[in-house]
Chains A and B, each alone.
With several copies, the nearest count.
Chain A
């Protein structure tokens, strides 16, 4: 830094601070012209500010390093910290089903083909993220459109494998878990009614 020697709480010059903040906020590398335009200054001043930051964020000095990449500059975590970052962010995770995913999957399994709005009505809450995850994991797939134009879903072979089922006829009989087995109506109607009752609580 260009500050006089031995100054403890030396401040980074304003332009370098601005450039630092912009690099920090941006997910992508920023070019000198981009930085100059944002800071409303000349490119020469930006180059000087980058040189200053380059010293502060030189490899091995801090946990963050300044890199020149793809015609621009970017801040990145120092490779020496990668092990800790891996422990925090990328612990391998076994794909298990959350309660919301299990419910959505059960609805698709027993009522297929079924549309997303219907799933949402039965669950009483949005099923978008659960549906997306199940699609991604290959447990459900698209099955054409309903007569009303809504996209429908069905389970996949992958689903049968995960649950160790030969075919859909092997799905367990719901009667075992039915809270009111005396009800005669069809499963779909009963689920829709219960879902609407749950969501309807809001309107009360």
Chain B
């Protein structure tokens, strides 16, 4: 693979990318100390120099870097007692392999679908509305024919909290992104707040997940933040288009 020729120069390691991968899997380089963003930047530079995009290699790189990111995030998120810290290099290699195979499998299936679609080129279907005379007639329901209890029942269903999410492969996180999203939205509804306030008294894992939830809110356009100096206080506030004016992604999609 052309990835082998990708030279990485980091504080913790200097050499070809596939060697770094191997050393990480053999735990000879601590993944926690490998700045993955720098690897991505190196790769982008490499692409720019070559001036051409090898899709095969690019896909392979993305799959590998994604696997590394997941491994790293597991290491960061799991508690000291987590058995995942003791993950064997062979296990990690298996995990990477399984992931590459899975991705390859559906990439091939995607190719098949595209071929099917291409074979149907030129086939069109009629999409005309039904003649007026045939449109469905709707008979209005009689007055008093619906039970008011129907409405109460619906509210009861909507009040039910979903069961707690159990991410079996990460062990048992004590806090979910969904919870922290709800927490942050609750704070936002009251006005601006500082990140420290949002995680006061929380453990390391909760802080990490809260930060993740904050990024999600930022992505959804519901919140923005400001940090005047590094390591200073992070002030979080609702964006001009406040939460009430914003629909969740699902609503936007269906539009």
Closest beta carbon of chain A to B43's beta carbon, Å:
14
- A179 located at the interface, meaning its Cβ lies under 8 Å from any Cβ of chain B in the complex: yes
Q: Given A106, A123, A165, A187, which contacts B109 in the complex, CB threshold below 8 Å?
A: A106
Closest beta carbon of chain A to B29's beta carbon, Å:
7
- B177 pairs with A192, CB closer than 8 A: no
Interface residues of B in 59-101 (CB under 8 A from A): 62-63, 66-67, 89-90, 93-94, 96-97, 99-101
The residue in A117, A123, A184, A196 that gathers the most chain B C-beta atoms within 10 A of its C-beta is A123
- B131 pairs with A171, CB closer than 8 A: no
Residues of B within 8 A of A164 (CB): 116, 119-120, 123, 143-144, 146, 148
Interface residues of B in 112-161 (CB under 8 A from A): 112-114, 116-131, 133-141, 143-161
Closest beta carbon of chain B to A32's beta carbon, Å:
19
Query: Whole-angstrom distance between the alpha carbons of A188 and B185 in the complex?
Result: 14
- A148 pairs with B181, CB closer than 8 A: no
- A193 pairs with B216, CB closer than 8 A: no
**Contacts known (A99-B110, A172-B149, A194-B22); A76 close to B124, Cβ less than 8 A:** yes
For A132, give the chain B residue with the smallest CB separation.
B253
For B173, give the chain A residue with the smallest CB separation.
A204
Which stretch in A1-9, A40-48, A83-91 binds the other chain?
A83-91
Which range holds the interface residue count of chain A? 35 or more
Closest beta carbon of chain B to A58's beta carbon, Å:
15
For A83, give the chain B residue with the smallest CB separation.
B122
- B172 located at the interface, meaning its Cβ lies under 8 Å from any Cβ of chain A in the complex: no
Query: Whole-angstrom distance between the alpha carbons of A196 and B100 in the complex?
Result: 21
Residues of A within 8 A of B250 (CB): 120, 124-126, 142, 151, 199
If over half of B's interface residues share one DSSP class (helix, strand or loop), that class is named, otherwise mixed; here it is helix
For A151, give the chain B residue with the smallest CB separation.
B250
- B41 located at the interface, meaning its Cβ lies under 8 Å from any Cβ of chain A in the complex: no
Residues of A within 8 A of B103 (CB): 122-124
- A193 pairs with B163, CB closer than 8 A: no
- A37 located at the interface, meaning its Cβ lies under 8 Å from any Cβ of chain B in the complex: no
**Contacts known (A94-B139, A172-B152, A204-B177); A194 close to B251, Cβ less than 8 A:** no
- A60 located at the interface, meaning its Cβ lies under 8 Å from any Cβ of chain B in the complex: no
Residues of A within 8 A of B160 (CB): 179, 194
**Contacts known (A27-B128, A91-B136); A179 close to B113, Cβ less than 8 A:** no
Residues of A within 8 A of B129 (CB): 27
- A170 pairs with B148, CB closer than 8 A: yes
Can you identify 8 A-B contacts, CB atoms within 8 angstroms? A25-B126, A93-B136, A97-B114, A103-B157, A106-B150, A110-B106, A163-B120, A177-B152
| B residues apposed to A, CB below 8 Å | 4, 10, 12-15, 18-19, 21-23, 25-26, 28-29, 55, 62-63, 66-67, 89-90, 93-94, 96-97, 99-114, 116-131, 133-141, 143-163, 165-167, 176-179, 181-182, 185-186, 213, 216, 241-242, 244-251, 253-255
Additional 8 contacts, C-beta under 8 A, given A109-B151, A110-B106, A172-B151: A79-B123, A85-B124, A89-B134, A107-B109, A116-B247, A150-B244, A163-B146, A172-B148
